[in-house]
Structures are given as C-alpha cells and as structure tokens.
Amino acid sequence: MQSNFKINCLIICLLLSLTIGCAPFGNKTRPRVHIPPGLDSTTVVVSSRMADGNFVSSRHEKEANELTGFGKQNLARVDEFWAYLELSVKKETAISENEKQQFDREFTQGAQALKYWKSLAKNEQAAKAALEQCLIAQHHLEQALRINPFDKNSRMLLSVTYYYLQHHFGLQGNHAKAAEILERLIRIEMGEHELFRLLGENYLAAEKYDLALNSFNKALNVMIKTSFDAPPDTTMIFHYTYAMGDAYARGYDAANAVETLKIAEGFARSQQELSDVDSYLKWIQWDSGNIQASEIWDEVLALETSKEYPEMADACKNLLPILTTTNARISVMHKLAVIEFEVLGEKEIGIERMHKVYEALSGNGQQLDIPGIRSYLDTYGAMLYRLGIDALERDDKKEALAYYNKAVSFEWDQVAKAYYEIMSLLWNNSEKAISYGEKALAYHDGLSEQQYCNLMSRMTRAHKSAGQYDQARMYFNKWKQCQE
C-alpha cells in the first residue's frame, strides 16, 4: 500500500517537473486586451465576441473582396454569354459575328430559356466554355466566403453561379452532381421553394427516391410558409403533392403513393390534372399495388409497339408468375395468347391459353365483372372460328363442328359466322339448319354482305325442303333484294 503511494507521488512529481521545464517553450504569454479610452474591459470583451460572430478584420475583408472580384469577373462572362443567347444584349466583343449567326440559327426554334440551355448543350465547345467560367467563379467566390462569410455580395454571386452549374450538370445528365450543387445553393438561399423542387427532380432522375420525397416535401412547406400576401397557390400544392406521390411510387411504396395522389387530386384545378392523377392511380393499382408488375407491363406494351413479338412473349411469360390479381393475369394471358396464335405460329398453345382465360372469366358459371371482358370473348370466339375453318380445310368436319359449337356457346361480336358455318354442316337436317340460320340472322351484323345474301339463299332452300313455302318465298324475296 505504502509502496503504491510512493510510486504515485513519484509519477506526479515527474509530470510536474516536465510541465515546469517545458513552460518557457510551450506556453505563450497571453496578450493583454486593448482598452480604448472611455471603455471598460467587459464591454471590449463582449464586443469582440460579437464581432467574431458577425464580421472579420479589415485585412481579411479586403482579401475576400479581391477574391470576390475575380469571381465576379468570371461570372460576368457567363452572364454576358447567356444574355446573348436570350437576345437580351448584344456585345460585339463577346463572340465573333460568325458565332453569333451560328447561335441564331441554333436557337431560332425556341424562345424559352430552357430551350436555349438545351440547344447550347448540343454545342460541345460552347457548353464547355460556359461550364469552365462557372467553375472558376465558384472557386473564387467560395474562397471569398471562407474568409468573410458575412459578405452578402459574394453570397449572391455564388448563388447565381450554383444555379448555372446545376443547369449545366442537369442537362448533361449528371443529376448526382446537379443535386450536390443544389444542396449547396439551398444552404445559401432557403426561402425559394423552386430550388427544393429542382433538387427533388434531380434526386428523382438519380433514383434517390427518399431524398426526392424529402425535397418535394420541403418545397411544399416553404411555398406555404412564404405565401405572405395571399393564400398558397393550390396549383403548386397540386404539383408538389403529385410529385411526392410519384416519388413514393418510384420507391415501390404503393400505399403511400395512392394516399398522397388522392390528396393531390383534391387540389386539381383542371380536367387534365384530374386525368393525370386517375391514370397514375390506375397504373399503380393495375395489379393491386404491385408496382414492379406495372413497370414490366409497360415494357411488354412497348415491345408490342415496336413489334418485337418474341421478346414480348418472353416478357409476358416472365411476368405471369409475379402477378397477384386475376384481372392482371387475364390481361397478360390474353396478350400472350394473341401473339402465340397470330404471330409465332403456335395456334394450339394460343387457343389453350385463351381457353384458360375463358374459364377464368366464366368462374362458377357466371361471367365476372372484369374490364375488357368483351374483347377477351371476341378474341376467343375469333380463334375458335379460325380453327374451325382450318379443320374444314383438312376436311375434318367433326372437329370443325366442335370448334363452331364452342364458338356459339357465348356471345361475341361475330358469333353469326359460327352459326352460319354450323348451318352449312347440318344441311341434311332441315329443321336444325333453319334453327341455326335463324340464330345467325339474330346476330347478322357480324356477317359480311356476301355472307348475308348467301344466308338468305340457304334459308330459302331449307324452308323449301321442309315444305315451308311461305317462309321460303319471303327469304327468296330478301335474297333478290341482296342481288340488286
């Protein structure tokens, strides 16, 4: 115990001796505070602390002003460059006459500022020159603000520089860099909701959906809180709320996307805005909020438009296993069946797939309330009719009759054609031939003019064979009218 105490005392003494020995080299005498006449030390110290938090010394201020000057000169070149493109000023010394004519040709197509920026981006040399000046201005103005962070002029010029830079990077597709610049700009100017909107759009393009959502939310809040002279603009509330719903959807948060878009719908002021919300909600809910499936379905439709049918069929087959609703499955199966039947030469596979669609539509013996159900039935009926024709060409009347009988078991737009063919197949039985002929007449809108006239001729002969002469005469007169 005493031994430990002695050791501790020895260590403390050693440290004290080292501290005392190093004091002349390591410690500096603290300067005394200068007290101007008529003031006391407390006032001077308090004032000094206030100064440290609000401005810098004259030497630092002068140095900052010099750097600001450099930045202002470079930024002025950019201002002149863009002002010329917007035809607001003309300076003969800015660029050559040939270059002016070239710019005039490129930019006559549009009068809006954004179109000028997009046209400029196509001119690689001009775009690089403007970007270089912006970067030089950024460097000097940031240096100035490091030295004197209280200079309003430097802050304003740096804000303008940042705005130009984010335009450049955005047009180049470098949305991550544009967002970085906008984050800096917002630190300088937090009262402009449009800046938060730009930030949100760049984060959307960069697929950073949480950050985009946060930015649009801030844009909405800033817009509402800075509407001092009038109530907040409901048009802007719609756009920002809609953008938030879009961000939720892109991040696969279907529940919040639907909820937010319905809020946006309440602020819609035009039929187009209402239509936009309605279309988006239907897209999200195409497979009951399975947004990944909705995206793949868009790809399927794009492949169909570009007539890339084998790729489209593969996309449909890959989509089917991830679907969650009957409606979505039926839509995809119908699309795939048509491609198989009509394009890929896989009629048997296509008709079998449409048979499954028909069974799904007629679940429990009752047709379901499914959007587009009539088009599905029309497709199935047309396929059955076509296969019946194919069977007749092979002289397989029994199979043809089977296809036609299935085709007349439900209503579709050209069901009369199937009745017409059955009448021909059952010609030896006058009673049945007449029965199917009458059913064909009931849906005669689905027949061609030639088929309709032929049907009148057949009905004449069938009634004559059955001894029904009055009816035969009536159909004979209708047949004569067809020939006129």
Q: What is the pLDDT of residue 365?
A: 42
Tokens linked to 297: 């379905």
pLDDT at 120: 43
Which pLDDT score is estimated for 230? 84
Q: Which pTM does this prediction carry?
A: 0.67
For domain 414-484, the CATH class is mainly alpha
Q: What is the CATH number of domain 290-412?
A: 1.25.40.10
Domain with CATH 1.25.40.10 in the chain: 290-412, 414-484
484 residues of the chain, pLDDT tens digit each: 444 444 444 333 433 333 333 434 344 444 565 656 445 566 556 566 665 655 555 666 666 665 555 555 544 544 443 443 333 334 444 434 433 333 233 223 222 333 333 344 455 656 666 677 777 777 666 766 666 666 676 667 767 777 877 888 888 888 998 898 888 888 878 888 989 999 999 999 999 999 999 999 999 999 999 988 888 888 999 999 999 999 999 999 999 999 999 999 999 999 999 999 999 999 999 999 999 999 999 999 999 999 999 999 999 999 999 999 999 999 999 999 999 999 999 999 999 999 999 988 876 444 456 667 889 999 999 999 999 999 999 999 999 999 999 999 999 999 999 999 999 999 888 899 999 999 999 998 888 889 999 999 999 999 999 899 999 999 999 998 888 7
3-state SS track over the chain: CHHHHHHHHHHHHHHHHHHHHHHHHHCCCCCCCCCCCCCCHHHHHHHHHHHHCCCCCHHHHHHHHHHHHHHHHHHHHHHHHHHHHCCCCCCCCCCCHHHHHHHHHHHCCCCCHHHHHHHHHHCHHHHHHHHHHHHHHHHHHHHHHHHCCCCHHHHHHHHHHHHHHHHHHHHCCCHHHHHHHHHHHHHHCCCCHHHHHHHHHHHHHCCCHHHHHHHHHHHHHHHHHCCCCCCCCHHHHHHHHHHHHHHHHHCCCHHHHHHHHHHHHCCCCCHHHHHHHHHHHHHHHHHCCCHHHHHHHHHHHHHHHCCCHHHHHHHHHHHHHHCCCHHHHHHHHHHHHHHHHHCCCCHHHHHHHHHHHHHHHCHHHCCCCCCCHHHHHHHHHHHHHHHHHHHHHCCCHHHHHHHHHHHCCCCCCCHHHHHHHHHHHCCCCHHHHHHHHHHHHHCHHHCCHHHHHHHHHHHHHHHHHCCCHHHHHHHHHHHHHHHC
How confident is the model at residue 399, as a pLDDT?
Answer: 92
